[in-house]
Structure 1
Amino acid sequence: MRIISGIYKSRKIVAPKNLPVRPTTDMAKESLFNIINNLFYFDDISVLDLFAGTGNISYEFASRGTEQITCVDQDFGCIKFINETAKAFDMSIQTIKSDVFKFLEKSTLQTNIIFADPPYDFSDEQFAKISQLVFQNNLLLENGILIIEHSKHTNLSGLNHFSYSKSYGGCMFSFFEVD
């Protein structure tokens, strides 16, 4: 994986092969960040990266100037890798080792963008629970968005607060906003 833009543009990051992850492809990530770039100034926002995995999305935000980034993942190896990479690049990324659902149930952290990249084989109920907990617990700041990455075979358009989806190959991003 590589960082697409910003101060670390073109830097490659190689994650250990033993991590239980499926990093967002460079093509899909570049398209996603083109959308976000039209909605926000990167240096003015805060980001919560759920199911952070390798930290791929968080590194992209940090490279573009975002300083308030929190990653949540339950895998110790993922959290360790994110911490090591953030330190090597001098990125201000905070990590939390936790089950994402337990974190969302208790969290009071409000951010501009919440990005969730759960396993593609999640059930419809598990995808719905992410959105439900984010909005029920008021975790988005005014004009904030929740972005859920999922397979093109999953349809989240029936969930509350759904706004739109964008498809890139086998990957989709569904966007949710406060009504």
Structure 2
Amino acid sequence: MRIISGLYKSRKIVAPKNLPVRPTTDMAKESLFNIINNLYYFDDISILDLFSGTGNISYEFASRGTEQITCVDQDFGCIKFINQTAEAFKMPIQTIKSDVFKFLEKSNLQSNIIFADPPYSFTDEQFYKIPELVFQNNLLLEEGLLIVEHSKHTDLSKLENFSYSKSYGGNMFSFFEIL
């Protein structure tokens, strides 16, 4: 994986092969950040990266100037890798090792953008629970976005607070906002 833009543009990051991850493709990530770039100033926002895996999305935000980034993942190897990479690049990324659903149930951390990239193998009910918990616990700041990455076989369009979705190859991003 590589960082698309910003301070660390073109830097390659090689994750250990034993991590249970499926990083967002560069093409999908570049398209996603083109959307976000038109909505926010990166240095003015806070990010919550759920199911953060390798930290791919968080590195992109940090490279573009975001100072408040929190990654949540339940895998110790993923958290360790994110911490090592953030330290090597001097990125302002904090990590929390936790089951994402338990974190969402207890957290009061509000963010401008909440990005969730759960396993594509999740059931529909597991996918539905993410926006439900985010909005139920008021974790999204006003004019914020919840972005859920999923396969084209998952449909989140009927959920409350759904705004729109974008498809990039086999990847889809569903966008939710306070309505």
In the superposition, the TM-score normalised over structure 1's length comes to: 1.00
Q: CA deviation at 1:121?
A: 1.1
Q: Please list, as runs of the form range in 1=range in 2, the aligned pairs for 1:58-137 lying within 5 A after superposition.
A: 58-137=58-137
Which amino acid is 1:73 matched to? D
Any idea what SS the aligned residue of 1:72 has?
Answer: strand
Tell me the residue number matched to 1:31.
31
Which amino acid is 2:164 matched to? Y
Return structure 1 stretches of 4+ with deviation > 6 angstroms: none
RMSD value, Cα: 0.3
Q: How many residues align?
A: 179
1:149 matches 2:164: no
Q: Over residues 45-71 of structure 1, what are the superposed CA-to-partner deviations in whole Å (9 max), with x where a residue is unaligned?
A: 000000000000000000000000000
Tell me the residue number matched to 2:170.
170
C-alpha distance in 2 between matches for 1:140 and 1:156:
18
Which amino acid is 1:70 matched to? T
Q: CA deviation at 1:90?
A: 0.1
C-alpha distance in 2 between matches for 1:8 and 1:92:
13
Q: Over residues 138-158 of structure 1, what are the superposed CA-to-partner deviations in whole Å (9 max), with x where a residue is unaligned?
A: 001110010000001111001
Structure 2: gaps (5+ residues): none
Any idea what SS the aligned residue of 1:103 has?
Answer: helix
C-alpha distance in 2 between matches for 1:47 and 1:75:
20
Q: Over residues 122-142 of structure 1, what are the superposed CA-to-partner deviations in whole Å (9 max), with x where a residue is unaligned?
A: 111101100000000000111
- Percent identity reads 86
C-alpha distance in 2 between matches for 1:142 and 1:177:
8
Q: CA deviation at 1:4?
A: 0.0
C-alpha distance in 1 between matches for 2:28 and 2:162:
20
Tell me the residue number matched to 1:42.
42
Q: Over residues 86-114 of structure 1, what are the superposed CA-to-partner deviations in whole Å (9 max), with x where a residue is unaligned?
A: 00000010000000000000000000000
In the superposition, the TM-score normalised over structure 2's length comes to: 1.00
Tell me the residue number matched to 1:10.
10
C-alpha distance in 2 between matches for 1:159 and 1:52:
23
C-alpha distance in 1 between matches for 2:142 and 2:151:
28
C-alpha distance in 1 between matches for 2:75 and 2:91:
20
